[in-house]
Structure 1
Amino acid sequence: MKRIISLMATLAFSIAFAQIPTLEVENQKKHPVILQEAKIDTKILGNLATTTATYTFYNPSSRILEGNLTFPLPEGVSVSGYALDINGKLRNAVPVPKERAKEVFESIERRNVDPGIIEKVEGNNFRTRIYPLPEKGTRTIQIIYHQELKNFASDYQYFLSFANATTIPKFNLKVWISETATVPKILENPDGNFAFQKQGNQWIAEINKTDFRPNEILKVTIPKNQNSSNVVLQKASGDKFYFAANVGLDFPVKEKAKSQKIAIIWDNSYSGSKRNRDKELQFLDAYFADNKNVSVSFSLLNNTFEKTEEFSISQGNWSELKNRILNVKYDGGTDFGALKEISGVEEYLLFSDGISNFGDLTMKFKKPLNSISSTPTSDFNLLKLLANQSGGNFINLNELDTQSALKTCKRLPVLFLGFKENPNMQELFPNIGSVISEPINIFGITTGNVGNLTAIFSVGNEKFEVPVDFSKAQQLENWQISQFWAQRKINELELNSTQNRQEIKNISEQFGVVSKNTSLIVLDDINDYVRYKITPPQELLADYQKIVSQNKGRVLEQRKNLLSKAFDKTRELKTWWNTEFKPVEKKEYPRVSNQSARDTVNNQRLEEVVVTGALGIKRNSAVAREVSSSAKLAESEAKPKGKITLVDVESTAEYMKDFQNLQSADVIYHKYLENRSKHEKQVSYYFDVSKLLFKKGNKELSLKVLSTLAELDLENEELYKTIYYLLKQRGHYDKELWITQKILEWRPFDAQSHRDYALALVDNKRPQEALNIYKSLLYQEFTDEISMRDNGIEEILIMEINNILKQNKNVDGSKIDDRLKADLPVDIRVVINWNKDNTDIDLWVTDPKGEDCSYQHKSTAIGGRISNDFTQGFGPEQFLLKKAVKGKYKIKTNFFGERQNILSGPTTIMAEVYLYYSDGRQERKIAVFQSQKENKQEDDSKILIGEFEF
């Protein structure tokens, strides 16, 4: 299936998730997508809130559209429900392991029927697909999430942002508030008519509007009911209950001693420009007004950790430092693995979104680090982890005003130590010993009435006790306290997500909460639930069980590994390699006049280019004698030495004209930053400028620009593959390994993901690990659709496995089946890969005799062979020639069926070109370039990328 168009939702919010998504589509004017209806329903009990947001999108155009809707949720909040309309009725999603959900999704979409899927990507960001949006038709999605409201003195506050909302044809907003005697106050109103009315024990406010554009925010304060219970229960199994206890910290919190020397680490990666700098500067204003005399070490973090600059703050005057911050340039990816301790520092302030997309955090700070977030798309858990590990505080400027943020920064961390009475309670969250914020909701599992308990907290060396009355706990029937509990547990586990991966997955699947490891999926056809062994929602369960029962004993999902085909391919390659290809030079024959004689001569000429050996055809004896004599003469001559020449495929983009007369890398980089706003989402802009800077000899600036591609989207394997290709070409093998490992985490169901990672291990001189990856890949099972997409990749894998065995004598190959082993050195090997699924790129090699080897003509007279034609996946395609003849060989590619994507730009190709592959003299060169329809260096439609000369 060829992808059509891409949608990206831009969402902003104050404290709660922004309810009104703004869809940006390619060619917005020609293909507008209208948010036809928005329905938002929020229920509030104490400081717990559950919101259900339902959106209907209308496609007025005459073509099918598809795309992604990506949105952030506040700190600690996850998606706990998702539904998609199937045949006009909303169908609830079910939890599935993240990688499995993506595999099933992509298998089914190849039939032009897309399921619905929602997944968590980097940070606290969530992505769902809206496809298909039928021509002149609608699709509806529904998202449910739970949140804990913030505590402000005598009330709770609920915020709902409508920032950037356009006019909505149908708009409905309803807020239910339970168990409060005093009327809630609306401080900011979406239309002026939104007002609460008492109905029983609830306050309800609702508006229904047509062609409505809401004001930017709804802000409601909810008075605390001092007489009602602060503990609520939901029945679990047996005599157990899930509980939520709201506990106020009514004891003095001590302040830390003021530091004499601090360090500010300022994330100036490209995404840093999206942070709320005004809030950050206001916080620093307050900080230096309180810490008037302090030394500051100022460092920048992007894909590197840039050198420290020293500033001295006197009498609260920090203007010099402020000017430095105001003039910071934002560029590059983010590598938390580059962070370092700064000597002499007593405390750190880290300003970042916490999303590390170019390396992993590997250190713990020995001095307190205060991590400060000002953007809703932050990775709150990583920022909390940095603070908690070091004894610092996490400061969320998205939710705190300046003075509250300063108060949080100054205080000694408050730790939760559990309950004094130690009743029969299980799974308390936050965990005992965790740093907590004020106020605190404690979630857990308990038996019925445990009476009056005492929660214990510590600040520094002092302990404090706070009473919690469980005797007045209220049991609720229609509140999912279990999902609140599960959400909190997942948040705690995700502080160490790699270590807790399996437990996160188990909890997410049990309670239907989206996490880093679990997604929610909706399938269109009941038979797909059966086939992929996914338990459906309740309304389909009876039909599902009936079909499963009828099919008992039969394999419901066909999954295949690559092993048997790899055995066959190894035999085929051995046969090909052992075949003797001996074409002879064309001979001149006397001209003849009659047709029959001309036919005889032509037949003789045709016979002369047919190969001999196991696959050959018997020639006439005279010609065979000539061939034998020529072969002996050729074998007596010295073997010609080959040479690789790669063509630099130049960009023809209009923006490159601005750089053509610039010589200095620094001047080019300055021009790149100056022009970037005009090409902000244009992938080729970063690709081309990075290549130009590399040619000018500045590897550091080139890498910084390249790493910026990681900041353009979240968990986008197509962008990461583009980065990977250029890292490999330029010898940044450590980063190549990290990038390919991330792609493998996202797409373990892709054979190409495993191969890329194995090749990166080889580049990092870790051949044994690479061999183990290849072995596991051959045994891994794939769905029918993905297996068919990658049909033929075995030929490439066999060459690479045997190359590792040949080039590395110390590698243990005992676990590789002997049927896969073959010594197959070749004079020429060319492999092309590309970064986009559902794309057809063709490899062409023309030999010195003018014969093309391609998907149309898979073998040549001199013994060239090409692998299977990949028309849907990421490639690869491979050309092999055992013994080169003298002359020039041309390597070309043809963009036969390219899938355009607004987020990941034009297709990127990597061509690996080898001389003497696997024979001890191996030489490799790499070409990386992007699709450019204007860039045709040959007379035909193909792009020339390189030549061999022997």
Structure 2
Amino acid sequence: MATRLIATVCLSSLIACGGGRSKSAMYAPSPAAEMSAAGPGGGGNKIANEPGETWKRSTIVANSSRVMVGDREQLTLRSMQTNVAVDGYRARVVIDYLYANDHDSQYEGTFQLRLPEEASPFFFAFGETEYAARDAQVAKLTIATDGEVREPRQIMAQRATAWQHPKEARMVPRETAQIAYDQTVRRRVDPAIMEWAGAGVFSARVFPLAARKLHRIVIGYDVDLVRIGNDLEYRFDLPADVPASIVDVSLPDGTVAQSTPRVDGRSASGRQWLHFEGTKDRTIAVRTTPRGAPLLVGTDPAGTFFAGQAAPVLPATKGATSDTGVFLVDTSLSSNPDRFNIWLKLMRGVLDGNRDTMSKFNVLFFSVDAHAFKAAPVANTPQNVDELMTFANTLALEGATDLGAAFGAVSALSLSNADLFLLSDGAATWGESNLHALGRTLRATRSSLFAYQTGLAGTDLAALSHLARESGGAVFSVTGESEIAKATTAHRARPWQLMEARIAGGSDLMIAGRPTSLFPGQTLTFVGRGALAPGAQLELVVNQNGNQQTIHTKLAEPIATPLATRAYGQVATARLEELEDASGSIAKAYATHFRVTGRSSSLLMLDSEADYQRFNIKPDDDAYVVKSVAAAAEFDSQMKKLFDTLGSPKEAFLAHLAKLEKHPSARLQPAASYRALLSQLPVEAFAVPTVPLRTTLRDKRQMPAPVLAMLAKHELDYDAMSADADARRARATPQDALKSLSSLVEQNPGDAVLARDVGFSAMDLGLRAQAYHLFRRVAEARPHEPQTYRAMAQALAAMGKHELAIAYYEIPLAGTWEPRFGDLRTIVVLDYVRFLRGVIAKPGADNVRGYAQSRLATLSQEVKMDRADVVVSITWNTDATDVDLHVIEPSGEECFYQHRRTRSGGELTQDVTQGYGPEMYVLRKAPVGNYNVFAHYFASDRNRASARTKVYVTMFENWGMPDERVTERVIALETGKQKHAIAQLARRAATIAK
């Protein structure tokens, strides 16, 4: 059946311009263009106008989910029901997942969800049903639908009889949510938390998953439609492993749509909807032809808001381009295999379609490593392009994505002013993650960057848009193969500089992506406040080489919908979050009011109102903040102050320090002398650039077939990848080993346990800069865990970054941390004293020598130890885990948590039973003989079926003496095995246990 729908496509990533009269261009260092596509949530410039098709279904399927209760164990998905309400260019999606716990034990689970591109979650609820895990009555749990656009309270009411004691998550600041969750789950009650974990990836820990019961998890998100030629399409990919699924798509009455597969529609209460059940198609699509520029309006307690899309008609003229093209091609796991095939088609298209202007080219393939196709640019001939394609198809697609290292590698090629073509999803899962810092590195190449948005899940459109804008480039939409021809020459158009934007009757106007330049054919998403005048138009003042024009775009009749307020809120929150900590409280108020899950806030679910009160989580008057502080004006005001410091590593460190001072589980109190030291240190002292790993195994023919199969399916087994890393270390290099492990990080962005795990491995492999950045990501996500700062300091010390190592060593000593971290201070002080002695003894480090001498004098009084024959310390990567250090001395006496002092003088620090450690053994005067060191794995996370725990061990012989020897090792603790050998020390020599 045909229905009619008025909509158009969305733009790029998220941006603010000032007030009702935007002047965002004044803060841009260089012209930029936002031509990003209308993938779900994308929007942007459309190059092709003729109808086409989207790319074939990706291996990384949007809406795919799983509930993991261990490294391998996951619950069974019994059914999935989806309700989609489309208004204008935007859709609200509510999905009910039914998961069965077939086990005899209650578990904590990690619910992982891959969302469509730029989808914005607003709702998360979880509850147990009355049905047993294997009950056949699943059909009774189907939710009736009427096609309305529902708010959270209505969603809960609609499911009142579908579960028992359901809980709805509340939006709270992210750090508060993390602390509340951690402390509650240790009490073995039932919280849940949903966090942003990277581009399109959200992770929600849920507890308890009752034994032998069926559980309902409900997720709600808003997303933009995809533009394909002149059409708009809502596309829903069904995961392959769903035994039963229902999808309902509703549209306003009077719209016309075509569906795939074809179904008849029905109408009621002003809505029409299409019902898909039992379909064999793995993708459901509903396509419409929009009429005019859509406009959505809505109200809430904070005011009246609008959101819309427009494609201003700009005159097209050719611009100047470089005669050299450099392609940065992402070969990470996320490109395997679908994106990589698209990248190759685009690359060939750009080379073939621009041979008249692009006379030479080179290609940098990158993941955590980077290697050039040729040592220098080669002629753009058909023969060289064919050779490139043959070579590219030999590459193994694996590893995480290090954009910063790739940009640094381009700078090293000395190709200033070349046009850069970034063929990547833009999701930086490795190395530097701060967009402003990445923008600084990119600007050093002195090149314009052009990127392509495909509409596939997992794309970080905000990152692509930011990088393109900062370099004077653009993001082009290529949502299907029919668009390649025009997309590959789109960079040759001359852009128009955007001087001002305005709409009659509107204020607080923001354009998504903060474009400072516009290209012909570009589609803009705009949001703002106020009741627009009838017949209102979007007016853009643009300039091209002194030719200034005002472009008018008439807007369609407004559609009243709750989607308008969240569309505004999503753009406004993202714009404020771009300012990082400068607008933290305001950004959090916006995120909380509009329920925008992301960098500022998380959805937290606790057991009772008393639990929320225990963590001082209470309703704030966020609506008042939103009503009083216009996002665009706040952004403009702060950007004037911050423009020169955004992306500065020193400013980022100081901002993190300020956050810790306010954090209730850190309460940092830095000494005046420490603050003085930080103020005197140069910016470069805080910079830890990552360089690409120098790998030797790049050809897929060098990889074992089982590993290639796992990579292609994105189904990585932890043990198999660890074994592969060990094999690569033996046959190739430590860098090759770490690249293998980095695929786990790419597959699981935001997993702190895994990041620590791989960070420990990087330390063991001697790759300290890689370890530092992994630990840094953990610290940013979980700033209340002090052992992370010690790990960062250790990595920096090993790199010779003495100034920054001191800065991080001081953090655990300046805070008031949770008691569960045991004798953390004692262990950090001992470690720090040894480091300070080394700094003072060596030449250099003049910036910190005086401070180091002063601190050493103070801390030596606390340590009261000049030397020790044996020192052993351990720390581990999993929370809620009890790992005990045991040392058997030559006499046979065992030092452990129940016998902490031995007759020979051996001492053990306080037992840590709730995760991470550290624990330390010290023996000042060691009798001659063998010392056997063990780790006892008494308790893993009791709410998990299995969770891989790794111990990072540091052993010193002759601590504090000239002939001091240090041994470091990472030990993986095996499930079901309590006693693990770490090492045997024969007084002055250590033989590491295998």
TM-score w.r.t. length of structure 1: 0.75
Report how many residues are paired. Answer: 798
In our comparison, the structure showing a higher alpha carbon Rg is 1
Gaps of 5+ in 2: 1-54, 129-162, 433-437, 622-662, 670-694, 841-848, 989-994
CA distance in 2, matches of 1:738, 1:206: 47
Alignment-derived partner of residue 142 in structure 1:
218
Q: Give the 3 Å change call, closer, same or farther, for CA 668–764 of structure 1 in structure 2.
A: same
Which of these residues, 438, 442, 461, is aligned with residue 363 of structure 1?
442
Cα deviations by residue, 1:33-80 (Å, 9 ceiling, x for unpaired): 1333x3322222221222222223233443334432323333433212
Q: Give the 3 Å change call, closer, same or farther, for CA 736–27 of structure 1 in structure 2.
A: closer
Alignment-derived partner of residue 256 in structure 2:
184
Does structure 1 residue 777 correspond to structure 2 residue 812? yes
CA contact (8 A) 1:173 1:206 kept: yes
Displacement of 1:84 after TM fit? 2.5
Alignment-derived partner of residue 864 in structure 2:
823
1:371-386 equivalence runs, <5 A: 371-374=451-454, 375-386=456-467
Q: Which amino acid aligns with 2:462?
A: N
CA distance in 2, matches of 1:806, 1:505: 43
Which of these residues, 359, 371, 388, is aligned with residue 306 of structure 1?
371
Does structure 1 residue 329 correspond to structure 2 residue 372? no
1:533-932 equivalence runs, <5 A: 533-535=616-618, 672-677=703-708, 681-691=716-726, 693-694=728-729, 698-767=733-802, 769-782=804-817, 787-809=818-840, 810=849, 812=851, 821-825=862-866, 826-898=868-940, 906-919=948-961, 921-932=963-974
Q: Which amino acid aligns with 2:523?
A: P
CA distance in 2, matches of 1:199, 1:16: 37
CA contact (8 A) 1:235 1:242 kept: yes
Displacement of 1:560 after TM fit? 7.0
- Secondary structure of the equivalent of 1:323? helix
Q: Give the 3 Å change call, closer, same or farther, for CA 175–459 of structure 1 in structure 2.
A: farther
Alignment-derived partner of residue 508 in structure 2:
426
Alignment-derived partner of residue 570 in structure 1:
none
Alignment-derived partner of residue 547 in structure 1:
none
Alignment-derived partner of residue 115 in structure 1:
191
- Secondary structure of the equivalent of 2:967? strand
Q: Which amino acid aligns with 1:366?
A: R
Cα deviations by residue, 1:276-315 (Å, 9 ceiling, x for unpaired): 3333333345434423454221221122321341554436
Alignment-derived partner of residue 21 in structure 1:
64
CA distance in 1, matches of 2:665, 2:474: 50
CA distance in 2, matches of 1:28, 1:801: 35
CA contact (8 A) 1:165 1:214 kept: no
Alignment-derived partner of residue 553 in structure 1:
none
CA contact (8 A) 1:561 1:778 kept: no
- Secondary structure of the equivalent of 1:80? strand
Cα deviations by residue, 1:646-693 (Å, 9 ceiling, x for unpaired): xxxxxxxxxxxxxxxxxx987999654444236652334444444455
Does structure 1 residue 949 correspond to structure 2 residue 992? no
CA contact (8 A) 1:263 1:348 kept: yes
CA contact (8 A) 2:566 2:594 kept: yes
1:334-349 equivalence runs, <5 A: 334-338=401-405, 339=407, 340-341=410-411, 342=413, 343=415, 346-349=418-421
Which of these residues, 476, 487, 490, is aligned with residue 395 of structure 1?
476
Alignment-derived partner of residue 438 in structure 1:
522
CA contact (8 A) 2:124 2:219 kept: yes
Does structure 1 residue 160 correspond to structure 2 residue 236? yes
Displacement of 1:830 after TM fit? 0.4
- Secondary structure of the equivalent of 1:533? coil
CA contact (8 A) 1:840 1:896 kept: yes
Same amino acid, percent of matched pairs: 19
CA distance in 1, matches of 2:173, 2:314: 43
CA distance in 2, matches of 1:47, 1:501: 30
1:41-80 equivalence runs, <5 A: 41-80=83-122
- Secondary structure of the equivalent of 2:900? coil
Q: Give the 3 Å change call, closer, same or farther, for CA 29–761 of structure 1 in structure 2.
A: closer
Cα deviations by residue, 1:515-542 (Å, 9 ceiling, x for unpaired): 123211111111101101112699xxxx
Displacement of 1:120 after TM fit? 0.9
- Secondary structure of the equivalent of 2:214? strand
CA distance in 1, matches of 2:811, 2:247: 52
Alignment-derived partner of residue 582 in structure 1:
none
Q: Give the 3 Å change call, closer, same or farther, for CA 516–435 of structure 1 in structure 2.
A: farther
CA contact (8 A) 1:184 1:220 kept: no
- Secondary structure of the equivalent of 1:481? helix
Does structure 1 residue 246 correspond to structure 2 residue 309? yes
Q: Which amino acid aligns with 2:985?
A: E
Q: Which amino acid aligns with 1:737?
A: Y
CA distance in 2, matches of 1:216, 1:516: 32
Using the TM superposition, name which of 438-447 and 57-66 deviates more.
57-66
Could you say what the CA RMSD is over the residues aligned between the two structures, in angstroms?
A: 4.1
CA distance in 1, matches of 2:509, 2:93: 25
Q: Which amino acid aligns with 2:442?
A: M
CA distance in 2, matches of 1:120, 1:176: 28
Q: Which amino acid aligns with 1:710?
A: V
Q: Give the 3 Å change call, closer, same or farther, for CA 118–385 of structure 1 in structure 2.
A: same
Cα deviations by residue, 1:755-803 (Å, 9 ceiling, x for unpaired): 2223334334455654554544345345xxxx35323333313323444
Using the TM superposition, name which of 157-166 and 113-122 deviates more.
157-166
Q: Give the 3 Å change call, closer, same or farther, for CA 511–316 of structure 1 in structure 2.
A: farther
CA distance in 1, matches of 2:908, 2:541: 69
CA contact (8 A) 1:13 1:161 kept: no
Q: Give the 3 Å change call, closer, same or farther, for CA 824–104 of structure 1 in structure 2.
A: same
- Secondary structure of the equivalent of 1:871? coil
CA distance in 2, matches of 1:561, 1:242: 39
CA contact (8 A) 2:958 2:964 kept: yes
Q: Which amino acid aligns with 2:85?
A: K
Q: Which amino acid aligns with 1:439?
A: T
CA contact (8 A) 1:151 1:157 kept: yes
Q: Which amino acid aligns with 2:202?
A: F
Which of these residues, 202, 214, 220, is aligned with residue 286 of structure 2?
220
Q: Which amino acid aligns with 2:296?
A: V
Alignment-derived partner of residue 515 in structure 1:
598
Displacement of 1:24 after TM fit? 7.2
CA distance in 2, matches of 1:845, 1:29: 32
CA contact (8 A) 1:391 1:413 kept: no
- Secondary structure of the equivalent of 1:355? coil
Does structure 1 residue 276 correspond to structure 2 residue 350? no
Q: Give the 3 Å change call, closer, same or farther, for CA 112–282 of structure 1 in structure 2.
A: same
Alignment-derived partner of residue 196 in structure 1:
265
Q: Give the 3 Å change call, closer, same or farther, for CA 758–699 of structure 1 in structure 2.
A: closer
Gaps of 5+ in 1: 1-11, 539-557, 565-663
CA contact (8 A) 2:194 2:603 kept: yes
CA distance in 1, matches of 2:961, 2:802: 17
CA distance in 2, matches of 1:283, 1:881: 63
CA distance in 2, matches of 1:396, 1:223: 18
Displacement of 1:253 after TM fit? 3.7
